[in-house]
Amino acid sequence: MDDLTFKPIKHNHEEFLREEMKDEEFRKGYEALGPKYALIRQLLLARQNSGLTQEAIAHKIGTTKSAISRLESGGKHVPSITTLRKYADAVGCELEIKLIKKNRTPYEAKPISVQLSINMKINYYPDTDSLYIEFSEKESSDSIEISEGIVLDYDQEGTLVGMDIDNAKKKVGAPSVVSTRSPCLLLTGDVPFFNE
């Protein structure tokens, strides 16, 4: 008889992505899906941090729980701006849409704009010219430098808990924000491995 003992397979997603991004076809496919998955992450994080269930959001918007489930799963149908605005309003956020210039230099990595309904803490340390954006008070257990001087911190579950930016004045302009919290904040960051 076969051994039916549970043997979990170890998987390091960041390492997997780094390796797969070397394949041009994979990288192009991954880039093409980026905006779709960024939207799904925004919806799920906003709902999670609002404390509302799919059913509660459906009631607020005037639709069904299954419609909210389809919206959050990123299925075949593209949601309308009206639907996204209603969803954002239901979770206590505003909808913001940006058009980003194409064909930028390698130093202008593709930005991602994410509107999150979470409490973030932003600290600027002038003595080291570093900016730290804390998404969660959970302890960091893993860090990945995604480009020179930009480090993402993850907790044990692989959830992003913070971002450290060295040479902040050069990279994001002269920071004037010191230790503030915002429930709905537009975060713009770079994803440089898309340009490698």
Query: Given pLDDT bands bounded at 50, 70 and 90, which one contains residue 179?
Result: very low
pLDDT of residue 188: 41
Those residues whose C-beta lies under 8 Å from the C-beta of residue 190, and which sit 6 or more positions away, are: 109, 110, 111, 112, 146, 147, 150
Q: List domains and CATH numbers for the chain.
A: 13-90 (1.10.260.40), 111-195 (no CATH)
pLDDT of residue 41: 85
pLDDT of residue 50: 87
pLDDT of residue 104: 53
pTM of the model: 0.46
What is the rounded average pLDDT of the residues 119-145?
82
**In the predicted model, what is the mean pLDDT of the chain?**
76
Is 110 in contact with 100 (CB distance < 8 Å)?
Answer: yes
Distance CA 135, CA 89 (A): 21
Instruction: For Cα atoms 127, 189, 126, give the angle at the middle one, nearest 5 degrees.
Output: 10
pLDDT of residue 122: 82
- Answer yes or no: is pLDDT of 80 > 70: yes
pLDDT of residue 173: 67
User: Within 10 Å of residue 107's Cβ, how many Cβ atoms?
Assistant: 10
pLDDT of residue 12: 81
pLDDT of residue 11: 77
Distances (CA, A) of 49 to 55, 81, 188: 15, 22, 19
What is the rounded average pLDDT of the residues 38-67?
90
What is the tens place of the pLDDT at every residue in 93-131? 888 887 776 765 444 444 444 444 456 788 878 888 888
pLDDT of residue 172: 78
Distances (CA, A) of 146 to 7, 27, 34, 135, 173: 31, 16, 16, 17, 19
The winner for highest mean pLDDT among 62-71, 110-119, 140-149 is 62-71
What is the rounded average pLDDT of the residues 75-101?
85
